[in-house]
Chains A and B, each alone.
Chain A
Amino acid sequence: MADVWTDRLSEYLDDELTPAARAALESHLAACPECAATLSELRAVVERARRLPGRPPAADLWPGIETRLAGPRLARSAGPARDVRPARRFAFTAPQLVAAGLALMVMSGGGTWVLLHGGRATSMPPVAASDPAREPARLVNAGVADQRYDEAIADLQQALESGRSQMDPTTIAVLEANLKAIDAAIEQSQRALAQDQENVYLNNHLADARQRKLALLRRATALAGGKT
């Protein structure tokens, strides 16, 4: 039957016991098959909880939600009231950026890249020129000043172009697909920001996309130049 240790098993499982209590419980576990069995059942419960699937409701709840979206939205720190009219959709589709990120992350052994989505571009995409007229009024956490950013991108693009012949074609294809996705994200953020300049999320999103482009180009250039 349950002993004094049974009620400590969850804490043990969650690593919340003091070292002394932990050691004592471990020596008890070695001698008490019941506690050992209970522990493994509890562990199975925790595992099961982690794997519990999502499940949609029987009815579509969207119509009921959509009719309620016209109400006031919580204002951000400052600025005019938010326009809640449905904005036009942007051409860029969500999965592209995600797919691009995955393409970068997933590689098979031996340094070979796995191309996760199409995009057989044959030339390097043009760097999205930074048009000052379309830049947001304020960049939150941009990290890189606009002009320095543009220069760095141009330098890297040039270095990459000269090292291009030494690169594996698959690598180039992945690189180009990623650059395209990042450029699309940058452009999309800039378009959205034109309508909502102080949106913190959009500003961060833009800054993040630009940083990623820079980081990607830096590494790609190193890769092109460092290949023996």
Chain B
Amino acid sequence: MEAFALRSPADSVPAAEPIPDVARAAAGDVRAFEDLYRTHLPRVHALVRRMTGGREADEITQDVFVRAWQKLGTFRGDASFSTWLHRLAVNVVIERFRTEQARRARMHDGEEIFETLSAPPQTRDIGIDFEAALEKLPDGAREIFVLHDVEGYKHHEIASLLEISPGTSKAQLHRARMMLRRHLT
């Protein structure tokens, strides 16, 4: 069929990727950058909010976009802009919370929360929906769940980002999923 000869990856533009805005913003166009901000804000803010459990999500989101503006000149266009921006956001969040307490230690926090949230259906708080339950997860498990299941990171990537072992990443992911399955409604 002749028409299908035209359907090839060589012709395809990544769908919904506002490439010209990126190009203009990289050249210093603030209005183009504002367009990028408006396009990507819902997903970036949701990412930050889920990663942080809601803490300082607005402020950190602003940091993400300021950083994106500063680094746009280094964006090479070999990944999609949205992927690049999300990775940047993840790094900003992780840096923000890489504070006095070692991340490794945080992996073992919140045992009681797991107990509460993993309770069998008959005793669970029906009012807690999926996002709310996600927010209540211990920091480590929540970050790993968001990175792996929402953002599509691999365990070895998560391990290096969070400075933990891939085994810890797998175990925490499983715990997060086991808890969240009670809040699927």
Contacts and interface: CB of A to CB of B under 8 A. Distances in A.
A217 to B, nearest CB: 11
B27 A199 contact: yes
A212 to B, nearest CB: 6
A225 to B, nearest CB: 10
B27 to A, nearest CB: 5
6 contacts: A49-B149, A66-B34, A93-B20, A94-B21, A94-B35, A201-B73
Contact of A76 (B41, B62, B73, B78): B73
Contact of A226 (B2, B22, B145): B2
Contact of A54 (B17, B45, B76): B45
A72 B34 contact: no
Contacts of B4: 107, 111
A: interface residue count bin: 35 or more
A219 B4 CA distance: 10
A201 B28 CA distance: 13
A148 interface: no
A49 B11 contact: no
Contact of A94 (B11, B19, B178): B19
Contact of A38 (B19, B46, B181): B181
A73 B74 CA distance: 10
A57 B33 CA distance: 18
Given A86-B30, A112-B3, A212 B23 contact: no
B20 A87 contact: no
Interface stretch (B63-71, B91-99, B103-111): B63-71
A46 B180 CA distance: 10
Interface string A201-224: 110110010011001100110110
Nearest to B30: A86
A34 B41 CA distance: 41
A85 B77 CA distance: 23
B157 to A, nearest CB: 14
Interface in A167-217: 171, 185, 188-189, 192, 195-196, 199-202, 204-205, 208, 211-212, 215-216
Given A66-B34, A86-B30, A76 B3 contact: no
B20 A188 contact: yes
Chain B interface, >50% SS class: helix
Given A111-B4, A201-B72, A215-B8, 5 more contacts: A11-B170, A41-B181, A56-B41, A69-B66, A220-B6
B1 A111 contact: yes
Given A44-B181, A64-B62, A92 B20 contact: yes
B163 interface: no
Nearest to A11: B170
B15 A69 contact: no
Contact of B31 (A76, A86, A192, A196): A86
B52 interface: no
Contact of A68 (B62, B72, B75): B62
Interface in A48-94: 48-50, 52-57, 59, 61-62, 64-66, 68-69, 71-76, 82-90, 92-94
Given A69-B33, A87-B29, A89-B24, A222 B170 contact: no
Contacts of B41: 54, 56-57, 61
B26 interface: yes
B27 A87 contact: yes
A137 interface: no
Contact of A57 (B10, B58, B184): B58
Nearest to B130: A48
Contacts of B155: 16
B73 A82 contact: yes
